[in-house]
Amino acid sequence: MASTRELLKDSSGRLNELLKRARNNCTLSRQLWESLARDAGDEIYTEALYRLTRLELSPGEAKDTMLDVLDHQEGLCQALGRNISLVTAMCDYFMQVNPMLSDPILVEVNLLRQREESAYKDELTGLSNRRAFNQEVPKEMERFRRFGQPFTLLMLDLDHFKDFNDTYGHSAGDQALRDIAHELGDTARLLDTIVRYGGEEFALILPQTTREEAVGVAERIRQAMEHHAIVFAGQELPPITVSIGLACFPTDALDMASLVQRADQALYQAKVKRNSVRPFSDHQRSQTRYTLSDPLPLRLRDAKSQIQAMARDISFGGLLCIADRPVPRATNIELMLTDNVLGIRLPVNAQVSRVSSTGDGNYQMGLSFQLSSIENQKTLMALIEGRTQPVGYCFRAEHAASRADS
């Protein structure tokens, strides 16, 4: 079975060929585009329009727009009795039919790419910059929704970098940043995105990576930095150690802002010790807990009976519910997560992890479970996104400020 990256590469190649053929061909049918969309999703229309116009549209809007442009190209060819390029038809469409571009200009594609690359690159290190980061993370989130591949975000901060600058000078500090960027490129995997997030802070986006795998990558990076001497002006300077925090999508967060916040929270915890790696932890829980907007009815079934309960919050590793009678700890139970509005029915095998009385004749029970497949994770994610608000950490600004001197 082809990997996600292979599928994406194949779809990108097919899109390149389709755009090349469509430039001067008025008779390419919708079937070719729709066939590609069946394999790669409607995001292919978003990608096509972005490549041609740099407009950023949602997949649904992009699909309607792109197919309208193709119809417009065919109509122009028939009316004028000659081939009209896709670019010409698109320019006329966006100026006259659907005026989404008010003042377009023509620019050679190589020049455009050079300028875009400079806009998305950090000048000092040559790494991707914050702007590229803000585009890549949502793409990885969408890839999970389509292909079911989780990813992990690492936030990395240099230890005692202010002291290093004060001791050896800012030019030596710049060299240290370049060295670290180079070391990150050598240590990270080819499919990882490395970003200079700001100042002495870096970020790594690790596609198709679980928490355990990401910890291994982070440890490898930490150890490489620990043993890498900085060479400046012919002088060998001491290594600069790094602290790394990490958070995983979707188990730790369901949106970009929360994912960055939680990776940053883990980084703050790593900075307490320095030269360390810390995965995000929601207090004493291994998974981020989300509170339900409305209690979710449950049927709990053990070997002897069936119990009615109401779930109050949920995570990718368990939930908290209220029931009218207790179930002993360590009892294995079956439950069905159901949302008729969203069309979700997710059977789950769980175990009672804790039980306590609420004082009003009911009992609060914590249930733990492990989802057996990516499809089940995607289903639970849809339920969470439709019915919950994240119980987030309040990451205070002074935490980030305190790292500047560490």
Does pLDDT of 194 surpass 90? yes
Spatial distance between the Cα atoms of 183 and 225, rounded to a whole number of angstroms: 7
- Once rounded to an integer, what is the mean pLDDT over residues 142-165? 91
**Radius of gyration, alpha carbons of the chain:** 26
- Alpha-carbon separation of residue 112 from 46, 52, 107, 206, 319 (angstroms): 19, 11, 7, 28, 50
Q: Which residues, including other chains, have CB under 8 Å from residue 371's CB and lie 6 or more apart?
A: 316, 348, 377, 380
Cite the residue boundaries of each domain of the chain with CATH code 3.30.70.270: 121-285
pLDDT score of 288: 78
pLDDT score of 65: 92
Q: Which one is predicted more confidently, 293 or 203?
A: 203
Q: What is the DSSP letter of 210?
A: -
pLDDT score of 116: 64
Q: What are phi and psi of 318, to 5 degrees?
A: 170, -175
Cite the residue boundaries of each domain of the chain with CATH code 2.40.10.220: 290-390
Does pLDDT of 1 surpass 50? no
Spatial distance between the Cα atoms of 155 and 394, rounded to a whole number of angstroms: 18
Does pLDDT of 119 surpass 80? no
Rounded to 10 degrees, the C-alpha dihedral 16/18/21/23 comes to: -80
Out of 28-32, 104-108, 262-266, the most confident range is 262-266
With a threshold of 0.85, does the pTM exceed it? no
The whole-chain average pLDDT of the chain stands at 85
Percent of the chain predicted with pLDDT > 90 = 44
For residues 49 and 94, is the Cβ–Cβ distance under 8 A? no
Does pLDDT of 173 surpass 70? yes
pLDDT score of 104: 77
CATH of 121-285, one of 3.40.50.720, 3.30.70.270, 3.40.50.2300, 3.40.30.160: 3.30.70.270
Indicate the pLDDT class of residue 2, thresholds 50, 70 and 90: very low
pLDDT score of 270: 96
* CA dihedral for 87, 89, 90, 91, sign (positive or negative): positive
Q: Say which range, 17-31, 303-317, 318-332, has the weakest mean pLDDT.
A: 17-31
DSSP H helices in 201-334? 211-226, 256-273
Spatial distance between the Cα atoms of 134 and 137, rounded to a whole number of angstroms: 6
Record the tokens describing residue 334, joined without a space: 């079956």
Does pLDDT of 399 surpass 90? no
Distance of CA 385 to the CA centre of its chain: 15
Class of the CATH-defined domain 290-390: mainly beta
Indicate the pLDDT class of residue 322, thresholds 50, 70 and 90: very high
Record the tokens describing residue 106, joined without a space: 């023509």
Does pLDDT of 281 surpass 90? no
- Once rounded to an integer, what is the mean pLDDT over residues 74-94? 88
